[in-house]
């Protein structure tokens, strides 16, 4: 600016002490452009700090606080909607029904406007969702009977709603919208799974407090609606794991979050009912569980035991026992080698020697003395009998031991004829070590995969 005003002045550098806004003169001195400034007088209150409150600011500079959106008033009732459907089915004129679906599923606000009992009511309690359940059921029951263009418009509206509501804090109206959208029967079709996955992803990302509300709202669903909701979630997980066609869905690498999201959403309905997926091969998933102990964000079904059946849990326990047996045997072997000691292959096994006449007491003594080796593979030797245990002696030891423990004459357990099972005897017992033996034997039975022992 100065050079434009004084083109005759040139300089190689500029020193500009910021002390005033008034410029007195400009001139060239020893190759430097010097700006001489006139200092203002120092007042006594220059260094005083002024604290401004938002109340002292003029109205035009105050930023307005965002207010909660006002839900529009929708007056259509369940009866009026059903009458519209009947007229459309008879006349073939779907314009009014089409307009209703287009408007209702266009946004979360419109969903609340249509299905909330009172448009701007709070309904912030866990016991009352504020949703007109009867109207929701009527709309969804009729949806699958509408023309394809109406069904597609509903899905398109849901996509726009999810994209619009992806960011930002969640309100109770948002929870109501999720609660309503997750009941959509269209998600039974695999063609809608991409949309369904994004809905589940947003629900899974809700806070724990929000999930607490959903849990109690799910309780209010009828048994049939609740079962349909769970079945859709289970079908989604199973179909994603085992698609009928390889190219039916996006590559698993691009949608790895599908199954974790659906499984996390299942936590809410699980708190009301038992949910299992016995048809899945969870043993293949066990490796992920082992890795997830170190990498906490790795997903595994074993992190959600409520979704596993009893048979699957038993298989996983056996698999885990095998891994621990191998690990402990390896540690014993490495310890010997590191100390340069002679390696004895018996270190890899839990070797016990028992007498048939004193089977129970010898077994108790051996297992108590070798408690640190209980996770190793079991090998049994009967004293005074030649033989190499390849599994047969171990099985015989289990059978004889269990038969003696559960015999009514021994007094530890009583057989209940009505339930056809054994229960603890009512006799007074001064030594509980034999009961501890029962637990140890049950654990070892799982480790060594012997089915001869009865279920405890």
| pLDDT number for residue 136 | 95
Q: Determine the angle formed by the axes of helices 392-405 and 433-448, rounding to 10 degrees.
A: 150
Q: Are residues 269 and 403 in the same domain?
A: no
**What are the pLDDT digits (tens) for 103-117?**
999 999 999 999 998
Measured between alpha carbons, how far is 40 from 51 in angstroms, rounded to an integer? 24
Q: Are residues 201 and 106 in the same domain?
A: yes
Give the number of other CB atoms < 10 A from CB of residue 318: 16
Query: Which DSSP symbol is given to 116?
Result: B
Bridge-partner residues for 193, per DSSP? none
To the nearest 10°, report the CA torsion of 122, 128, 129, 132. Answer: -100
Q: Are 129 and 117 in contact (CB under 8 A)?
A: no
What CATH number is given to the structural domain containing 365?
A: 3.90.1750.10
Query: Is 439 a member of any domain?
Result: yes
| pLDDT number for residue 102 | 94
Task: Read off the pLDDT of each residue in 42-61 and give the average, rounded to a whole number.
Answer: 51
Angle at Cα 183 formed by Cα 181 and Cα 186, nearest 5°? 90
Contacts of 19 (CB under 8 A, 6+ apart): 37, 39
| pLDDT number for residue 422 | 79
Query: How confident is residue 150, by pLDDT bands cut at 50, 70 and 90?
Result: very high
Q: Are residues 119 and 268 in the same domain?
A: yes
**What are the pLDDT digits (tens) for 293-342?**
444 445 666 666 666 667 777 777 777 777 777 777 777 778 878 888 77
| pLDDT number for residue 97 | 95
Query: Is 370 a member of any domain?
Result: yes
Bridge-partner residues for 422, per DSSP? 415
Measured between alpha carbons, how far is 184 from 232 in angstroms, rounded to an integer? 10
**What are the pLDDT digits (tens) for 223-258?**
899 889 988 988 898 888 878 787 888 887 888 899
| pLDDT number for residue 12 | 44
Query: Which DSSP symbol is given to 246?
Result: T
Query: Is 339 a member of any domain?
Result: no
pTM, rounded to two decimals? 0.56
Q: Are 402 and 452 in contact (CB under 8 A)?
A: yes
Q: Which of 275, 272, 176 is nearest to 222 (CA)?
A: 272
Q: Categorise residue 273: left if φ over 0, alpha if ψ from -120 to 50, beta otherwise.
A: beta
Q: Are residues 271 and 363 in the same domain?
A: no
Q: Are 336 and 347 in contact (CB under 8 A)?
A: yes
> How far, in Å, are 332, 334, 341, 350, 380 from residue 344 at the CA level?
10, 12, 9, 13, 17
Measured between alpha carbons, how far is 361 from 352 in angstroms, rounded to an integer? 12
Query: Is 317 a member of any domain?
Result: no
Is 71 a residue whose pLDDT tops 70?
yes
Cα-atom radius of gyration of the chain, to the nearest Å? Answer: 37
SS3 104: helix
Tokens of 149: 């263009």
Q: Are residues 179 and 272 in the same domain?
A: yes
| pLDDT number for residue 121 | 76
Query: Is 87 a member of any domain?
Result: yes
Measured between alpha carbons, how far is 244 from 255 in angstroms, rounded to an integer? 17
Query: Is 249 a member of any domain?
Result: yes
**What are the pLDDT digits (tens) for 183-209?**
999 999 999 999 999 999 999 999 888
Q: Are 376 and 329 in contact (CB under 8 A)?
A: yes
Q: What are phi and psi of 36, to 5 degrees?
A: -95, 125
| pLDDT number for residue 154 | 96
Q: Are residues 273 and 354 in the same domain?
A: no
Could you list the residue range(s) of the whole structural domain that residue 427 is in?
349-448
Provide the CA 132 distance to its chain's centre, in angstroms.
Answer: 29
Bridge-partner residues for 413, per DSSP? 424
Last residue of a domain, which of 278, 305, 321? 278
Task: Report the range of poorest mean pLDDT among 51-55, 149-153, 418-422.
Answer: 51-55
Query: Is 273 a member of any domain?
Result: yes
Last residue of a domain, which of 227, 251, 278? 278
| Sign of the C-alpha dihedral computed for residues 442, 283, 277 and 217 taken in this order | positive
Is 151 a residue whose pLDDT tops 90?
yes
End-to-end CA distance of the chain: 94
Query: Is 169 a member of any domain?
Result: yes
| pLDDT number for residue 404 | 84
Last residue of a domain, which of 248, 278, 308? 278
Q: Are residues 243 and 379 in the same domain?
A: no
Considering only residues 377 and 103, tell me which one the structure prediction assigns the higher pLDDT.
Answer: 103
Task: Report the range of poorest mean pLDDT among 56-70, 204-218, 438-452.
Answer: 56-70
Considering only residues 100 and 391, tell me which one the structure prediction assigns the higher pLDDT.
Answer: 100
Considering only residues 2 and 115, tell me which one the structure prediction assigns the higher pLDDT.
Answer: 115
| pLDDT number for residue 276 | 40
Contacts of 132 (CB under 8 A, 6+ apart): 78, 115, 116, 117
Tokens of 191: 């063609």
Query: How confident is residue 281, by pLDDT bands cut at 50, 70 and 90?
Result: very low
Q: Which of 163, 165, 68, 85 is nearest to 122 (CA)?
A: 68
**What are the pLDDT digits (tens) for 402-411?**
888 888 777 7
Q: Are residues 258 and 381 in the same domain?
A: no
Q: What are phi and psi of 300, to 5 degrees?
A: -155, 140
Measured between alpha carbons, how far is 95 from 106 in angstroms, rounded to an integer? 16
Contacts of 394 (CB under 8 A, 6+ apart): 378, 379, 380, 448, 450
Q: Are residues 149 and 228 in the same domain?
A: yes
Number of domains in the chain: 2
């Amino acid at each position: 600016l100065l050079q434009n005003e004084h083109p005759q002045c040139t300089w190689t550098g500029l020193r500009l002490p910021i002390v005033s806004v008034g410029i007195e003169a400009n001139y060239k001195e020893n190759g430097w452009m010097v700006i001489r400034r006139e200092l203002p007088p120092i007042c006594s209150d220059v260094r005083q700090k002024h604290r401004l409150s938002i109340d002292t600011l003029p109205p035009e500079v105050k930023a307005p606080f965002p207010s909660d959106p006002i839900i529009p008033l929708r007056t259509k009732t369940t009866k009026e909607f059903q009458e519209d459907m009947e007229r459309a089915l008879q006349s073939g004129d779907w314009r009014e029904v089409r307009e209703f679906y287009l408007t209702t599923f266009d946004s979360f606000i419109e969903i609340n406007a249509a299905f909330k009992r009172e448009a701007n009511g709070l309904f912030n309690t866990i016991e009352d969702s504020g949703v007109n359940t009867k109207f929701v059921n009527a709309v969804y029951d009729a949806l699958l009977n509408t023309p394809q263009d109406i069904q597609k418009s509903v899905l398109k509206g849901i996509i726009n709603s999810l994209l619009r509501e992806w960011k930002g804090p969640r309100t109770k109206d948002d929870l109501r919208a999720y609660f309503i959208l997750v009941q959509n029967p269209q998600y039974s079709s695999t063609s809608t799974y991409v949309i369904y996955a994004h809905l589940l992803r947003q629900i899974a990302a809700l806070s724990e407090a929000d999930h607490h509300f959903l849990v109690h709202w799910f309780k209010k669903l009828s048994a049939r609606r609740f079962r349909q909701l769970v079945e859709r979630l289970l079908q989604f997980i199973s179909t994603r794991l085992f698609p009928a066609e390889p190219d039916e869905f996006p590559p698993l690498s691009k949608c790895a979050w599908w199954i974790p999201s659906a499984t996390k959403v299942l936590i809410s309905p699980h708190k009301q009912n038992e949910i299992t997926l016995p048809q899945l091969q969870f043993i293949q998933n066990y490796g992920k569980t082992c890795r997830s102990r170190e990498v906490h964000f790795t997903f595994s079904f074993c992190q959600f035991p409520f979704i596993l059946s009893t048979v699957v849990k038993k298989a996983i326990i056996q698999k885990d026992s095998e891994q621990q047996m191998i690990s402990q045997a390896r540690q014993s072997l490495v310890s010997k080698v590191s100390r340069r000691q002679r390696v004895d292959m018996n270190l890899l096994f839990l070797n016990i020697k028992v007498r048939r006449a004193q089977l129970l007491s010898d077994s108790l003594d051996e297992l108590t003395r070798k408690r640190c080796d209980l996770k190793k593979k079991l090998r049994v030797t009967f004293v005074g009998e030649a033989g190499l245990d390849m599994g047969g002696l171990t099985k015989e030891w289990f059978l004889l031991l269990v038969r003696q423990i559960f015999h009514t004459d021994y007094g530890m357990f009583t057989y209940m004829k009505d339930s056809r099972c054994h229960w603890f005897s009512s006799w007074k017992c001064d030594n509980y070590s034999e009961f501890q033996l029962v637990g140890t034997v049950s654990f070892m039975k799982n480790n060594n995969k012997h089915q001869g022992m009865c279920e405890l």
